[in-house]
Structure 1
């Protein structure tokens, strides 16, 4: 309750009259006053006696200091009732997430916040909404935590509860079998509108609606009860309610995604022999932290092991398995990351990988290995990506001039928290985790044999896990015995691309000017490539021509692109008109003879004005150059003529920056829900809110595939955030009120891959509380490899 002096201070004029009257009558005066709930005990008397000093002049003309004392006034605190009901939380008796058929205990605490002992009425029923059924309410009346008293359905009145005494009440609720994930169960004990846990639901008068069987309320003790102040409460009987809600959890599901890329290929320096070629495969296992688009009723969970037989012992392990491709045998395995072990099996592939007999001992004859695997005990948390699971195979028994190697990986585990211990199974070749379908619906978790079959499974022919269809997709690689001419990136005429040596490539980027915003177009400066051709045969080749090839997708190149080929003193320029190339300058490039020494030539690509940014499209502009032997001297390529292609790809920028913002409350008003998540949409902060900026930088160029292709790495990256620059005003006083509009929030400029430095109007400063910062410099040494990305975040408070 308020201290008595505060009570009188707020009611001074009224009580001054009463006290003055009492003093003037020279007697005692008792004031009965209300008390705030849970304050001074009912019946307590508070005495107050006034004293004073005063001066007067006696008849001698002398000033005299005098004193006086008043009579005593006594305040007797009246009995006031008070009650609160507080939520004490929910307990799921099965543990883990709340799902169908769980038994939930909702506990409530009823407290006497009056200043006199009282009794409680506890209703026999709680109000339940949602897909659940309530059981019998119980109460812990003796405070030993056993909830020993079952409350009758008609309700129950307790014995006397002392001031600040309490009773715990438990409402058992069983979640219905058909409860929908995401739906809400609400448990309301008492009935004090608005029943929303606000102050308006606590210690409210019971008088408006009288005594009802659904209420939690006070019932005054009978006079004569120990400790009871005679009479009724000054404020009447009181009531209160509390409400608790629970959302039915989505079913936990580990979204495990096994990914596979072919990271290397070597012809073992025997280009005409396909029986000794080496292929390197890199596997990774990603546990997604978000549910697949289109899935319902599932929440991301951690991945744990399933029963796998290793060295004769069956135990819970996470397994990544890869059946050795047909026409190959296992050559070597790279040491996996810490916590992972390499395992081998010679069990025939007629048995599924999770039922095979595995060994951690390297077999003496690797030719007998049917599968290679990687196992881990323990847990992989959602959001984890495991890289570095790599092995190499060698081809054997390939007698044809062309052969396709098909391969698919599998992963096995279980969902942490899944009481049914269901298998979590995935196949490589796509972006769908846990063998889910492309539309996000649940696929089969019954493993197949893991032996690649393109006809049945479909193909991930681009070697980047973008296959489509049910289950996984097969990684395919077509080998072709070397032709009589090779054409490729500089110094690597035998380079191999995604599928063969006709789609090897070299990547370069045009210069993009500063402050060119996304969505713009430009007229790039010409970009030059140096390529190499080679005759691998000692026999001289005659009449070798070099020409640009119309792209398969004619829209891949903008109309007006020119391609200039230079070999020695010969120069030829071709212009692309949207459907094909036309020789517009020179006589074409012809090498009368080609021996077995490499020959370099130059390709200059000049894209036209109006070319879009690659950071917008996510694509390069490819120019395929064909080297071929013009055996019939007609100047054109004909079927059957020996040839080889290489692709020169021009990017108009390849480091993509995406800036997003979100609002944090800070010391300001609550933030709207749609402003509290990172996005590019306009936000509406108030004073005291914090703006958090996030810059995501990504190398969008094509990832290394095949062998000896020229890719693009970004190094020495410096991201500048200047609040006073032409395109920024977040460090300015835009409204001219004498104060910069936003200020730096200490220790919030973060890039785990970079080094952040701070400037104030061009001068270096230290990050500290109260330091004014107008520029952030984020230096990322790199290299940032193709497909890699990072983030830089910083915060500004709205002043």
Structure 2
């Protein structure tokens, strides 16, 4: 009787051991998807369970069969938007937004990269050319690779080896590819116009590693399984979770108000002297007075997106030295006229300058000299150093006027009482049929 009871107890213990082994196997089966995120596809995980028990008299040992679990291939992708190269651009500017695509699966994979990003505002902004692949695994490419409007797979764009992206280990740049979206702020954009840039297209915006089977779109950023034996593929079956996609959207890009100075030159004949010889023109003296006005507010009609600014300088060549932050007020010597022996006069802080450069050369690109040259002087001007203090825009409705410029001219022997004066304004040649010509250039930033 006792022997039968011992046998029954032993069978119960063995059944308990079998159940324990089955439970261990079941638990391993449940955790395999988690392990697949860190273990390479195709990796074997082996486990053998052992148990020791006693019936009070005898100790028994039992060992289960070896359980082998093979890690399945799991696809995964994340997209992260980087900070735009300019978050407060001006109208007409160009900028770019980078996106980092990461392989969060457990096997090398290709990615499909769309050729078009999604812009939240297409009336004031546009994609400025092709999307480009600029880096792989954190290493910049020597020459960016363009992605056509139709998009493309990295294996085709970069080649089978470089275009197969290894799994990311959890940190670092391994397993990443960086793409760049170029953006143009259209000239019609005004201050306050805003844009966000998105790469990818998920059913719920800006989600990561999503099943693509129910939401396929040509603008998707998605995984592309390598062919067996290509790009480090494990030669396993297709990813157990299918094709994955992801999406990211940049931070806001908001057009800034463009600072713009509004300057004008005022010119008038301040004096005329014929030296009491009305029949002789060559001894006549004609003096022009000039004034520089920086307007505030801007002249009507105002241009949208511009904010009135002080007047700053630009680069000017003076005495063969290219000098930055200079403001140039210049005037063309009218045809049939020449500078008199009286030196040009400017207000405090302004230096008279001369140039013999042809009139076909823009005034700010001419070679200016502070000493009167011996050749034919074609323009005379005044230089102001704005590196420390610009010309203030002044108060609203008043602005700032800088006066005290004067140029004295004599008629040449070829001069006649009725003549046409050619002058330049805004880089266009114009003409007058009297002697009150307008000044040629005001150069500033």
> Could you tell me the TM-score, scaled by structure 2's length?
0.52
**Does structure 1 residue 182 correspond to structure 2 residue 182?**
no
Flag the 1:27–1:238 CA change in 2: closer, same or farther, 3 A: closer
The answer for the alignment partner of 2:166 in structure 1 is 162
CA contact (8 A) 1:22 1:71 kept: no
Q: Secondary structure at the match of 1:71?
A: coil
Task: Report the Cα offset of residue 124 of structure 1.
Answer: 1.5
Give unmatched runs, 5+ long, in structure 1. Answer: 1-16, 59-63, 255-294, 320-346, 358-374, 380-411, 414-424, 427-433, 452-799
**Hey, what's the Cα distance between the residues in 2 that align with 1:52 and 1:300?**
86
CA contact (8 A) 1:28 1:73 kept: no
Task: Report the Cα offset of residue 35 of structure 1.
Answer: 3.4
Task: Report the Cα offset of residue 46 of structure 1.
Answer: 2.0
CA contact (8 A) 1:37 1:115 kept: yes
Deviation per residue, 1:417-450 (Å, 9 max, x gap): xxxxxxxx33xxxxxxx32415xxxx756x3328
CA contact (8 A) 1:349 1:449 kept: no
CA contact (8 A) 2:91 2:258 kept: no
CA contact (8 A) 2:88 2:254 kept: no
**Does structure 1 residue 448 correspond to structure 2 residue 402?**
yes
Selected match of 1:222 from 215, 219, 227: 227
The answer for the alignment partner of 2:202 in structure 1 is 192
The answer for the alignment partner of 2:71 in structure 1 is 77
CA contact (8 A) 2:202 2:215 kept: no
The answer for the alignment partner of 1:355 in structure 2 is 350
Aligned-residue Cα RMSD (Å) equals 4.8
Flag the 1:220–1:251 CA change in 2: closer, same or farther, 3 A: same
**Hey, what's the Cα distance between the residues in 2 that align with 1:85 and 1:435?**
50
The answer for the alignment partner of 2:40 in structure 1 is 41
CA contact (8 A) 1:42 1:229 kept: no
The answer for the alignment partner of 1:203 in structure 2 is 209
Q: Secondary structure at the match of 1:90?
A: coil
**Does structure 1 residue 133 correspond to structure 2 residue 126?**
yes
Flag the 1:236–1:318 CA change in 2: closer, same or farther, 3 A: same
The answer for the alignment partner of 1:555 in structure 2 is none
Task: Report the Cα offset of residue 250 of structure 1.
Answer: 2.0
The answer for the alignment partner of 2:144 in structure 1 is 148
Q: Secondary structure at the match of 1:107?
A: strand
Task: Report the Cα offset of residue 129 of structure 1.
Answer: 3.1
**Does structure 1 residue 50 correspond to structure 2 residue 60?**
no
Task: Report the Cα offset of residue 253 of structure 1.
Answer: 6.6
The answer for the alignment partner of 2:394 in structure 1 is 435
The answer for the alignment partner of 2:93 in structure 1 is 102
CA contact (8 A) 2:118 2:199 kept: yes
CA contact (8 A) 2:203 2:215 kept: no
Task: Report the Cα offset of residue 120 of structure 1.
Answer: 0.9
Give unmatched runs, 5+ long, in structure 2. Answer: 1-14, 156-163, 169-174, 262-302, 328-341, 353-383, 406-445
Flag the 1:148–1:38 CA change in 2: closer, same or farther, 3 A: farther
Q: Secondary structure at the match of 1:35?
A: helix
The number of residue pairs the alignment matches comes to 286
Flag the 1:163–1:303 CA change in 2: closer, same or farther, 3 A: farther
The answer for the alignment partner of 2:109 in structure 1 is 118
Where in structure 2 are the equivalents of 1:611-630 lying within 5 Å? none
Deviation per residue, 1:638-686 (Å, 9 max, x gap): xxxxxxxxxxxxxxxxxxxxxxxxxxxxxxxxxxxxxxxxxxxxxxxxx
> Could you tell me the TM-score, scaled by structure 1's length?
0.31
Deviation per residue, 1:534-569 (Å, 9 max, x gap): xxxxxxxxxxxxxxxxxxxxxxxxxxxxxxxxxxxx
CA contact (8 A) 1:353 1:449 kept: no
Task: Report the Cα offset of residue 115 of structure 1.
Answer: 0.8
Flag the 1:303–1:82 CA change in 2: closer, same or farther, 3 A: farther
CA contact (8 A) 1:139 1:147 kept: no
**Hey, what's the Cα distance between the residues in 1 that align with 2:47 and 2:94?**
58
Flag the 1:247–1:18 CA change in 2: closer, same or farther, 3 A: farther
